[in-house]
């Protein structure tokens, strides 16, 4: 699984709340992916964060 954050991110923090081991709010106030490879046990949390993102900024492949 690969995950990216698009420029539409508004920095609401929902993704970090759902999957703190994968997402964090960066210095610019928007979300960042903080791991290179998503561990299998966190894939459901990452998908949930993508589904819940209010602006659809999380792209999962």
> What CATH number has the domain bearing residue 49?
3.30.70.20
Cα-to-chain-centroid distance, residue 16: 7
Residues 2-56 pLDDT 10s: 999 999 999 999 999 999 999 999 999 999 999 999 999 999 999 999 999 999 9
Domain extent at residue 35: 3-60
- State pTM to two decimals: 0.92
Q: Residue 51: in which H helix or E strand, if any?
A: helix 43-52
Domain count within the chain: 1
- How far is residue 37's CA from residue 29's CA, in Å, rounded to a whole number? 23
């Amino acid at each position: 699984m690969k995950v990216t954050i698009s420029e539409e991110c508004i920095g609401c923090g929902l993704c970090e709340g759902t999957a703190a081991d994968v997402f964090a709010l960066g210095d610019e106030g928007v979300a960042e992916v903080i791991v290179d490879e998503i561990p299998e046990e966190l894939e459901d949390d990452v998908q949930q964060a993508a589904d819940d993102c209010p602006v659809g900024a999380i792209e999962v492949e």
